[in-house]
Structure 1
Amino acid sequence: MGGNRVFGPRPVLLGHRGCGRGTVGGYVENSLESFLAAVDLGIDWVEVDVRRTRDDHLVVAHNPTDDDGVFYADVTGTEATDKGALRLDTLLAALPPGVGVDFDVKTSMEDATRSRARSTMGQLAQVAKREAGKREVLISSFDPGALDIARELAPGVPRGLLTWLDFPIGQAVAAAGHLDVQVLAPHWGSLRPNEIEHRPLEYVVETVHNSGREFLAWCPSVAFAQQLLDAGADALCVNNVPKVLAALHAEPARI
């Protein structure tokens, strides 16, 4: 593979929404406490869900709505934080510079009616450029259009194509190979044997590498995480950070 690597010479682990989806070790996902706990445990990177509010503030939230069903795109940043949402700038100020950040940018429907610069990705681009001067950074999204905005507005920041649950892995690999991205990030369900398409993990990862991209799998089980590392995956975005770290550190030569 040519050029600069995103994840470095060894496989890295990313804490999904901090310490993991839901509540892990008493820490609620996408809370400042969850991210800092993951850092204390020794995680390499954190995966951060990013959404835009009505007045163009960026908050850390996975779903388009809060617990009351109110869309973040319909409220102000102050209203969102008053209801418990974490401001992205608050998180970044608290994270040590040695911790990498994968910005998982969540496009909203309303982005379709906004200019590229005022879309969710457009708002995030400036933040990502600033953070790239302090730490390792990746911008990822399920939305290829948003990744094109990132390419335009934050050209020096690596980009990753996320693919959805059980998305056909052949299509994912081919798509990433012909998009201007540096990382393919499929859900681990796409990599399990199925009746339609089954390639060995080693073949999939090798093909991604041969296309000049790096390979990040998200949310694998603990057992499958080790298989992915053995197959040459560059990074894993994991749930239940304490459990995964404990299991993988039992085999230190492999991580």
Structure 2
Amino acid sequence: MFGPRPVLLGHRGCGRGTVDGHVENTLGSFLAAADAGVDWVEVDVRRTADDHLVVAHNPADDDGVFYADLTGTEAVARGALRLDTLLAALPAHVGVDFDVKTSMEDATRSRARSTMGRLGAVARRAARARPTLISSFDAGALDIAREVAPGVPRGLLTWLEFPIDQAVAAAAHLDVQVLAPHWGSLHATEQDQAALLRPLDYVVDTVHASGREFLAWCPTLKFARRLLDAGVDALCVNNVPKAVAALALEPAA
């Protein structure tokens, strides 16, 4: 999936929030991430009321208006980036991780008309032109992805401090190609004390032994070094310029 060397993915472009003047999930942020030297970008995908796909992390915009209630034209007028606009502008050598954000309204739609269902054709086209991954916190959406984009690799995202033992087993038995836990699942917390956690290299080795690749998201730079030493395949990072400079990874072949 990611190649023989670890790679970096730009979280929401150049990083969460505003990084070097670039607001997350804007075209400028993604292009700046590519210019900074990341191999991949992570792209939040949402569906509008009329089946357009836009790039947005939250279900609603800053005014509290839900994208599921807007047309694509209305969403763009409110500042959302159309997914097709991003893919047309992004350099072809940059991989795309589609982080599909299931909406509540998907419960009332057929699988084909869900957010993931609408992404299928887009992901298939993207995979012919660039490295491509479909990821989601929603295991049901990943099952839909298997149907609508069968040749595109899938990744299971897990939430903040989600138990890593369950995540590793779930990724294997959902038969996804990538496990993408938040870095908070990989160190001791108040709920998961150190004595109850396997060593980090054991976790990564188990993921690899199950036939999956390991993508950790949003670690601190200090913890990112530990993850690289443990053998992870990819890191989704905030503040791309700082991460590229600090981690000094060779670009993927």
Tell whether the structures are fold-level matches, with TM greater than 0.5. yes
Do structure 1's residue 198 and structure 2's residue 193 form an aligned pair? no
What is the root-mean-square deviation of aligned Cα atoms in Å?
0.9
Residue 142 of structure 1 is aligned with which of 134, 137, 140?
137
Tell me which residue corresponds to 1:3.
none
Do structure 1's residue 154 and structure 2's residue 164 form an aligned pair? no
Relative contact order (alpha carbons < 8 A, sep ≥ 6): 1 or 2 greater?
2
Tell me which residue corresponds to 2:54.
59
Distance 1:19 1:225 in 2: 17
Residue 180 of structure 1 is aligned with which of 175, 179, 182?
175
Tell me which residue corresponds to 2:234.
235
1:179-207 Cα shifts (integer Å, max 9, x gaps): 12000000000001234431111000000
1:105-144 Cα shifts (integer Å, max 9, x gaps): 0000000000000000000011000000000000000000
Alignment of 1:53-202 (within 5 A): 53-194=48-189, 195-196=192-193, 197-202=196-201
Distance 1:12 1:245 in 2: 10
In the alignment, residue 231 of structure 2 is paired with which amino acid? G
TM-score, length-scaled by structure 1: 0.95
TM-score, length-scaled by structure 2: 0.96
**SS of corresponding position for 1:133:** helix
Instruction: List, as ranges, runs of 4+ consecutive aligned residues in structure 1 with deviation greater than 6 Å.
Output: none
Q: Structure 1: which 5+ residue stretches go unaligned? A: 1-5
Q: Structure 2: which 5+ residue stretches go unaligned? A: none
1:53-112 Cα shifts (integer Å, max 9, x gaps): 000000000000000000000010000000110000000000111000000000000000
**SS of corresponding position for 2:50:** coil
Alignment of 1:22-33 (within 5 A): 22-33=17-28
Distance 1:181 1:171 in 2: 14
Identity over aligned pairs, percent: 79
